[in-house]
Amino acid sequence: MGYLKQTIKGLSWVGAFRISSRFVSFLRTIVLARILLPAQFGVFGIISLVLSFLAILTEVGVTFVLVKEENLDDDYINTAWLISLFRGLFSSLIIILSAKSITRFFHTPEIYSFLILASLIPLIRGLINPAVAKFQKELLFKKEFNLKFSVFAIDSLVAIVLTFLTRSAVSLVWGLIAGSILEVILSFTLARPLPKFSFNVVRFNKIIGEGKWITALGISNFFFGQGDNLVVGKLLGSGPLGVYQMAYKLAILPITELADIVARVTFPVYSKIARNPGRIKKAFRKTALGIAFPAVLLGLIFFLFPKSIVKILLGSNWLGVIPVLRVLAVFGTIKALLSPSLTLLLSLGKQKCVTLVTFWSFCFLALMIFPLMSKFGIIGAAYAVLIATLLEVPIVFLYLNRSFEQKKL
């Protein structure tokens, strides 16, 4: 069975969601940047770091396993839901119990109340019906679009309206809460089957067994993706962190969104044709070439015209973003070019290889970020992630070549 038509439709719907959501996100960022100060963005950035870290730390690869599983029955859905419920409750308790320690670590007293409020988010999200994974598995990306864009729109609307009323970054947390509640409601409305309080030991062992490398991958990805934010926030404070994260959003998101769109659609397709070496190799080559041109073009735009972009979109309060933006534009381009290779490795069951790639990237980052920041300040963090990514390239190609030889691709 061919998947070209479904892939094109999937790319269209996932692309429509990413483009529309990022457009709304850019508008939201621009509006909020005119109201909130960089330090306020930094405070919310710390909350985002905490939520992201816990989400990654407690990730057991449920969605990954459900998408790859050929015989997805009700026992999988029920067991996955109970795992998610426990995960959400555990994450909420961790946030509450560690709120004071996190506040002291970042020397930012105002984040304590933000953290207590944000502890509701994983608890609510734990209720989401895991059957929504079927949208990706069965290439039903129109349904996924309807769910995700509705959630994102409500999140953004609540955040903007409350920010106008309160002039406080806590409005962004309320936006996340509103979006999470809507996602739970829609997951039970749009996805089938509905989960029940039923536990299957065999399914539990399968999910945990196959998902363990996804857990490790998530942790490695977090420390590589957020390690620079943690160091900038700790050493330089919430103000520079706000500047750094804004540069990251401007430079990285437009470039890597392209790669993420393609990866989300090609992963289930690759998984379906993984036993056909000729088809998957041909599909991989087309994907890699298709991403290369637009990724490089977007990277050049941000590298060559950072001053104009910052002035037009953000205003004069954010001129400190410019030097960081140029370096991160190169970093984002390289990450986008590597994305098809990592997606292929995952579809071939090489989660361990992808995890090791990210782990070594984090090690490179950890070795370089402190000396580079000591010499160059905030831009040193950008240099560190760029160099770490360049060192990642030969490792990716090594694992890719080994996989080609093993699968005779």
Residue 20 reports pLDDT greater than 70:
yes
Range of weakest confidence among 1-15, 120-134, 217-231: 1-15
Please report, for residues 11, 69, 254, 398, the alpha-carbon distance to residue 260 in angstroms, rounded to integers and kept in the order given.
Answer: 10, 22, 10, 22
The whole-chain average pLDDT of the chain stands at 85
- Dist CA 372 CA 364 (whole Å): 12
- Dist CA 48 CA 167 (whole Å): 19
- Dist CA 227 CA 409 (whole Å): 36
What is the domain count for the chain? Answer: 1
Spatial CA neighbour of 122 closest among 167, 100, 90, 148: 90
Residue 63 reports pLDDT greater than 90:
no
Predicted TM-score (pTM) of the model is: 0.70
Distance linking the first and last C-alpha atoms of the chain: 19
Q: What is the pLDDT of residue 2?
A: 56
Higher pLDDT, 138 or 274: 138
- Dist CA 271 CA 179 (whole Å): 30
- Quick one: how far is CA 18 from the chain centroid? 12
Cis preceding linkage at 193, omega within 30: yes
Q: What is the pLDDT of residue 39?
A: 78
For the ranges 179-183, 241-245, 258-262, the one whose mean pLDDT is highest: 179-183
Amino acid at 32: L
CA dihedral sign, ordered 314, 320, 326, 329: negative
Spatial CA neighbour of 253 closest among 221, 299, 202: 299
For the ranges 57-71, 88-102, 293-307, 346-360, the one whose mean pLDDT is highest: 88-102
How confident is the model over 277-328, as pLDDT tens digits? 777 788 888 888 888 888 888 889 888 988 888 888 777 778 888 888 999 9
For the ranges 64-68, 235-239, 257-261, 365-369, the one whose mean pLDDT is highest: 365-369
Q: What is the pLDDT of residue 61?
A: 78
3-state helix, strand, coil in the chain (%, to 5): 85, 0, 15
Task: State which residues form the domain around 331.
Answer: 4-407
Contacts of 220 (CB under 8 A, 6+ apart): 355, 358, 359, 361, 362
Backbone angles phi, psi at 193, to 5 degrees: -80, 165
How confident is the model over 127-136, as pLDDT tens digits? 999 999 888 8
